[in-house]
């Protein structure tokens, strides 16, 4: 994806100006890759990294291999262009089906450009597997002989909950789950030598009406930068304290 | 300038730069201020496989040479000279083992150094034996299969933090320079302690301490090379590690040049950025030319070292001399360009100037380097006759 820290929007076409913008791995996906590699280091197994994108996205897969992933698969076809989150979820799920057996599908909680957080859950739906979102900790339990489960701590806004699911399952992770490692020299050498397979719409047996712009129910009518909001104030403290402060403010303003 | 690097060498440079930018830069000012040893950063370099660049693959390293080591040292030093020397000094301690160690010694010590799990250090200098290394007073007295070490090494980089030490001690004082022997010592050995940690002008995060030996009993299997070869071990080591100091100096100089250049475009005086003034431009032109010349000399020397030649003393002295004098000049000019701001600790160039000074002093003062160069020239002339 393009590095969005410096990205600008073309006012004429309402699209991101991608020319000259460096490509990076979505930061939340780096957390997902790191978690996958850590789980592999702890429990064994194999990490396959998948991305849908133009041919240059192979570089992102190579950086995942440098971090310790075993292989990378690039889903790339002109027919995928213009895909929204629905068509993207469909396409990725088709690729995962082609891989065959798997225990865990990991995602970053969202992309930092679209910020939708829909693709992880979308893929889980297409694969018809359980999903746990916003994970801050993943433990694989009962792996010895029994059917393994994932016990996942989910970070919610003001609390956390622990959910457990049988595998295979899909989990989306948040930034706080880990700190992605720096690539190592040996990892980079491995990445350099690694061959990235490219799968097209045909390879993954994707239905033409479900992919790309044609398969996307979302239509972008208009993109605009909202005007800055006026003065705002962040209330801090425990939920109880914040509630009281908010109540008093609303009362002061004679809203309630 | 294209130095015709291999893909691997480019990768090393890029990776060292990435870690330095992302991990070293945010903490360098604090490390300098508090004089805190950068253990976490050393672990990062280890995890990235940068600690064993010059160590053969069979001992857990990357299998590169002096050039690979210099590329990483330069990039780290571009951000922080103190972290740079900590990184480089481990190689100074490991090189003697690499060059003179038995298969057994290499297998025992090199893999942990290559992985970054342990650091190494080199102990030659003493209070009365600096430029005149012949004045070493630390003794190693033979006692059956053991040697008993007594004496104090001074200003040892990585002292106290390193686990593995190459130490030069006199086994036979009467034989002068032929009476010195190199030993591998381990932290924690009985009779081996550390003195005070020095409070330095620059490279402040690096550890500089005394190694104190009081009846420290060492088995003869810890001798590097042979008894009496200590000076050869020391000199051959320094010949091969001086390009590392050259690389550190080039890195510090480049870091200062980068800072000054960026500043000059934002500093407005007389209604214009100061980068538009010819007086400033000419300073930059000289700084950049000197840095590039120093870099070319360091790389060429490192490549010469990697050919395996023994005839390297003069070249390695030249690259250390020129690069360190360049670092001092360029960092001083960088402070001048930032002027009042440059003198303040809010900006990094005053630290770079403090860090640069040591490169003219350690691993042989630049006056000693000039002696070595001149001696090399005279020897060459004599050989032609």
The CATH number of the domain holding residue B168 is 2.40.110.10
Kindly compute the dihedral angle of the four CA atoms of residues B141, B142, B147, B148, in this order, to the nearest 10 degrees: -40
CA-to-CA distance for A96 and A102, rounded, in angstroms?
Answer: 8
CATH code for the domain of A113: 3.40.50.620
Residues of A contacting chain B (CB within 8 angstroms) = 181-189, 192
- Whether B137 is in a domain gets the answer yes
Whether residue A185 and residue B62 make contact (CB cut-off 8 A), yes or no, is yes
Using alpha carbons, list the distances in angstroms from residue B35 to A154, B41, B145, B154, B365. 40, 14, 41, 18, 24
**Residue B144 and residue B77 share a domain:** no
**Residue B372 and residue B235 share a domain:** yes
Show which of residues 169-198 on chain B sit within 8 Å of chain A, judged by CB atoms: none
Nearest CB among B22, B44, B50 relative to A185 is that of: B50
pLDDT attached to residue B309: 94
Q: How many domains does one find in chain A?
A: 1
CATH code for the domain of B337: 1.20.140.10
**Residue B355 and residue B246 share a domain:** yes
As a whole number, mean pLDDT of residues B88-102 equals: 96
Average pLDDT score over chain B: 96
Whether residue A182 and residue B50 make contact (CB cut-off 8 A), yes or no, is no
Whether residue B47 and residue A188 make contact (CB cut-off 8 A), yes or no, is no
- Whether B385 is in a domain gets the answer no
B363 is a catalytic site residue: yes
- Whether B249 is in a domain gets the answer yes
Rg (CA), chain A: 21
Domain boundary among B119, B151, B170: B119
- Whether B2 is in a domain gets the answer no
- Whether A256 is in a domain gets the answer no
CATH code for the domain of B65: 1.10.540.10
pLDDT attached to residue A13: 61
> ipTM, 2 decimals?
0.80
- Whether B1 is in a domain gets the answer no
| Nearest CA-CA partner of B328 in B368, B275, B379, B290 | B290
Q: How many domains does one find in chain B?
A: 3
What are the DSSP calls for B192-231, one per residue?
EEEEEEP--SSSTTS-EEEEEEEEEEEEGGGEESSTT-HH
pLDDT attached to residue A5: 65
As a whole number, mean pLDDT of residues B316-331 equals: 98
Cα angle: B260, vertex A3, A172; to 5 degrees: 130
As a whole number, mean pLDDT of residues A149-164 equals: 91
- Whether A152 is in a domain gets the answer yes
- Whether A180 is in a domain gets the answer yes
- Whether A87 is in a domain gets the answer yes
Residue B345 contacts A where some CB pair is shorter than 8 Å: no
pLDDT over 90, % of chain B: 95
**Residue B355 and residue B240 share a domain:** yes
- Whether B178 is in a domain gets the answer yes
Please tell me which residue of chain B has the smallest CA distance to A190.
B8
As a whole number, mean pLDDT of residues A49-67 equals: 91
**Residue B263 and residue B223 share a domain:** no
As a whole number, mean pLDDT of residues B197-218 equals: 97
- Whether A234 is in a domain gets the answer no
Which residue out of B75, B161, B259, B363 is catalytically annotated?
A: B363
Could you list the residue range(s) of the whole structural domain that residue A113 is in? 4-210
Where residue B188 falls (left for φ over 0; alpha for ψ -120 to 50; beta otherwise) is left
**Residue B324 and residue B195 share a domain:** no
- Whether A230 is in a domain gets the answer no
Return the minimum-mean-pLDDT range out of A112-121, B44-53, B65-74, B193-202. Answer: A112-121
**Residue B250 and residue B332 share a domain:** yes
pLDDT attached to residue A219: 78
Residues 6+ apart with CB under 8 A from A182: B15, B18, B19, B22, B23, B44, B47, B48
Residue B2 contacts A where some CB pair is shorter than 8 Å: no
Q: Read off the pTM.
A: 0.85
Domain boundary among B61, B96, B119: B119
Write out chain A in H/E/C secondary structure: CECHHHCCEECCCCEECCCCCCECCCHHHHHHHHHHHHHHHHHCCCCEEEEECCHHHHHHHHHHHHHCCCEEEEECCHHHCCCCHHHHHHHHHHHHHHHCCCCEEEEECCCCCCCCCCHHHHHHHHHCCCEEEEEEEEEEECCCCCCCEEEEEEECCCCEEEEEEECCEEEEECHHHCCCCCCCHHHHHHHHHCCCEEECCCCCCCCHHHCCCCCCCCCCCCCCCCCCCCCCCCCCCCHHHHHHHHHHHHHHCCCC
Residues 6+ apart with CB under 8 A from B255: B77, B78, B79, B348, B352
Residue B48 contacts A where some CB pair is shorter than 8 Å: yes
CB contacts, 8 Å: B49 with chain A: 184-187
Could you list the residue range(s) of the whole structural domain that residue B279 is in? 231-379
Summarised one tens digit per residue, pLDDT across range B225-261 is 999 999 999 999 999 999 999 999 999 999 999 999 9
Q: Are B45 and B54 in contact (CB under 8 A)?
A: no
- Whether B115 is in a domain gets the answer yes
**Residue B266 and residue B189 share a domain:** no
pLDDT at A1 over 80: no
Q: pLDDT confidence of B118, banded at 50, 70, 90? A: very high
**Residue B341 and residue B238 share a domain:** yes
Instruction: Evaluate the omega torsion of the peptide bond into residue A41 and state whether it is cis, within 30 degrees of 0.
Output: no
**Residue B306 and residue B319 share a domain:** yes
Whether residue B8 and residue A189 make contact (CB cut-off 8 A), yes or no, is yes
CB contacts, 8 Å: B47 with chain A: 181-182, 184
- Whether A241 is in a domain gets the answer no
Average pLDDT score over chain A: 87
**Residue B223 and residue B235 share a domain:** no
Whether residue A189 and residue B11 make contact (CB cut-off 8 A), yes or no, is yes
As a whole number, mean pLDDT of residues B334-362 equals: 97
Please tell me which residue of chain A has the smallest CA distance to B43.
A182
Q: Are B94 and B55 in contact (CB under 8 A)?
A: yes
Whether residue B15 and residue A189 make contact (CB cut-off 8 A), yes or no, is no
Q: pLDDT confidence of A20, banded at 50, 70, 90? A: low
Domain boundary among B119, B142, B173: B119
**Residue B222 and residue B250 share a domain:** no
- Whether B129 is in a domain gets the answer yes
Residue B50 contacts A where some CB pair is shorter than 8 Å: yes
Return the minimum-mean-pLDDT range out of B14-18, B132-136, B312-316. Answer: B132-136
- Whether A178 is in a domain gets the answer yes
């Amino acid at each position: 994806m393009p590095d969005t820290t410096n990205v600008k929007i073309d006012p004429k076409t309402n699209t991101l100006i991608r020319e000259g913008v460096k490509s990076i791995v979505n930061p939340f996906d780096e957390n997902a890759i790191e978690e996958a590699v850590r789980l592999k280091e702890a429990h064994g197994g194999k990490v396959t990294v998948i991305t849908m994108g133009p041919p240059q996205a192979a570089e992102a897969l190579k950086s995942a291999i440098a971090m310790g992933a075993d292989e990378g698969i690039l889903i790339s076809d002109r027919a995928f262009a213009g895909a929204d989150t629905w068509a993207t979820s469909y396409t990725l799920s088709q690729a995962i089906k082609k891989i065959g057996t798997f225990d865990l599908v990991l995602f970053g909680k969202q992309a930092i450009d679209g910020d939708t957080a829909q693709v992880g859950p979308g893929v889980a739906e297409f694969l018809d597997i359980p999903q746990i979102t916003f994970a801050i900790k993943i433990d694989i339990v009962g792996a010895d002989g029994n059917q393994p489960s994932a016990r996942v701590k989910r970070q919610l806004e003001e609390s956390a909950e622990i959910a457990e699911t049988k595998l295979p399952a899909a989990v989306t992770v948040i930034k706080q789950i880990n700190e992605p490692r720096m690539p190592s020299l040996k990892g980079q050498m491995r990445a350099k030598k690694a061959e990235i397979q490219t799968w097209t719409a045909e390879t993954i047996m994707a239905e033409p009406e479900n992919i790309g712009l044609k398969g996307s129910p979302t239509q972008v009518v208009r993109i605009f930068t909202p005007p800055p909001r006026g003065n705002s104030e962040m209330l801090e403290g425990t939920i109880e304290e914040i509630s009281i402060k908010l109540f008093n403010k609303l009362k002061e303003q004679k809203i309630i | 300038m294209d130095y015709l690097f291999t893909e691997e060498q480019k990768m090393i440079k890029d990776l060292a730069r990435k870690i330095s930018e992302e991990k070293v830069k945010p903490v360098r000012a604090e490390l300098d201020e508090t004089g805190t040893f950068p253990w976490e950063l050393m672990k990062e370099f280890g995890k990235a496989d940068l600690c064993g660049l010059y160590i053969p693959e069979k001992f857990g390293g990357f299998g590169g040479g002096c050039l690979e080591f210099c590329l990483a040292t330069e990039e780290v030093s571009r951000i922080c000279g103190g972290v740079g020397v900590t990184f480089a000094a481990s190689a100074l301690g490991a090189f003697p083992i690499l060059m003179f160690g038995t298969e057994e010694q290499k297998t025992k010590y090199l893999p942990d150094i290559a992985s970054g799990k342990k650091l190494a250090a080199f102990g030659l200098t003493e209070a009365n034996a600096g430029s005149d290394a012949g004045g070493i007073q630390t003794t190693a007295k033979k006692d059956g299969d053991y040697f008993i070490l007594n004496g104090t090494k001074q200003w040892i980089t990585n002292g106290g933090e390193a686990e593995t030490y190459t130490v030069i001690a006199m086994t036979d004082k009467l034989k002068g320079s032929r009476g010195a022997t190199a030993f591998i010592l381990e932290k924690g050995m009985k009779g081996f302690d550390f003195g005070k940690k020095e409070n330095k002008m620059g490279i402040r995060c690096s550890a500089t301490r005394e190694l104190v030996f009081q009846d420290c009993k060492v088995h003869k299997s810890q001798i590097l090379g042979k008894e009496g070869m200590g000076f050869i071990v020391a000199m051959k080591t320094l010949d091969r590690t001086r390009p590392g100091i050259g690389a550190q100096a080039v890195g510090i100089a480049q870091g200062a040049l980068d800072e000054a250049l960026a500043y000059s475009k934002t500093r407005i005086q007389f209604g214009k950025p100061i980068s538009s003034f010819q007086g400033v431009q000419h300073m930059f032109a000289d700084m950049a030319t000197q840095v590039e010349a120093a870099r070319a000399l360091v790389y060429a020397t490192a490549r010469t070292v990697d050919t395996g030649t023994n005839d390297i003393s003069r070249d390695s002295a030249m690259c250390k001399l020129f690069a360190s004098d360049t670092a001092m000049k360029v960092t001083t000019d960088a402070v001048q360009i930032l002027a009042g701001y440059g003198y303040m600790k809010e900006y990094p160039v005053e630290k770079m100037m403090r860090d640069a000074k040591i490169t003219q002093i350690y691993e042989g003062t630049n006056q000693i380097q000039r002696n070595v160069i001149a001696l090399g020239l005279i020897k060459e002339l004599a050989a032609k006759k």
